[in-house]
Structure 1
């Protein structure tokens, strides 16, 4: 699944060197124009060496300048330039919707391309083996924790989830063997989340962390980190948007990876559950 190169550059700018940031900023301002330049011509316009252009391309995950030009031509040509700008006050609703759709697609593409298959498979196997799963997230990550709870509870897993971290810490302390704790935090620096992981570690529980950043505290604390991508790329933001989409997508991948391994049993379970619910909640009951 190919990412949008404009948003890909924007998301990586903060991690680049000073010279590479200069290149990135120039490309974002002249995305369509540079497709006709060669490496030397672009380097001269920006005031850097040709080798720095190549390093920039590799820093953003491309093989070289030719691939950058192809991606820029595909993503920037024929697309309204204002779709790549931040959301601003008093924008037309249709433009706002287009911007969000573009960013959501980019968020899912980034996560799909970089999600570690091994982490998903190992976590799926843990879910199968463990008798009880504890899950916690705060703020927008609480929504993701609820989604995890709803999905896995429906297929017969015992999931303990509460927003009260004091109550959950008590549950973790008294948890038995064959339990796991799933911690969800976009930043990986949420104090309540990390403290709960520390308790779970002391109880020698399996710990899984769903987070955006590889070098976060949460990633270092847990046994099995699952890194998603596609965080916020906009300045105007009153609540999590693309990061929430990336987290929910990650939970979906984990859920379907688990279902795929135990398809027959789970499909029968879901069918029986649906019949029982329809029977129980019939209007004539």
Structure 2
């Protein structure tokens, strides 16, 4: 149905997944079960989302074996530092109720705290102890990536960044490719702001797909892992139906040309 992408540590990750941001705790177990039933095998969570226990309930009440599901969560900004990050990981594991995580990310670099290197060292230790299989980062910019790699010798498996047609992140994606870091796209649909753009509409008309499917296919063809969110079973299924069509080079370029450097979320250099 869909492919896995290799990570630089020898593991692999499903290319499409679904995110649990803004999914209410009391709906999370259902959304997880429906996502897995639709065919997803990558679930993207985070401590700050407040629904890790619902994620765990969904895992325990599905027929899909745990070893076929890739579970990601993230260390929030108030748990930077070596000891605090280790504590955060153990608390997430307890809330989710599983023996290990497939991937743990630093959610934001919080450069004004200047503790992301210590936090990264904690993730390395957790990986070496077997509590986490793969470790990565989210919202890191070039200087943050270069610093953690330079100071530890360990390269993140992925960097999850805001990426959509209004923010194509070409320079950061090129750096990721050079360093062997997978790009993972959050808010991949950019809140639907380019759904009516001629570049998207034209590709949708040619392929018979929705604007959302066209944009998600654009991410897939860029080689990104992509994690759209939907709380509806129909939306979950639609977001996964990306493998029976392809965009042309001209369509890919026309969508990339919509770039305006426009963020929907915080600036990683300032956010803490």
TM over 0.5: no
Query: Which protein shows a greater Rg?
Result: 1
TM-score, L = length of structure 1: 0.29
Structure number with the higher helix fraction is 1
Which protein has greater RCO, CA pairs closer than 8 Å, 6+ apart? 2
Structure number with the higher strand fraction is 2
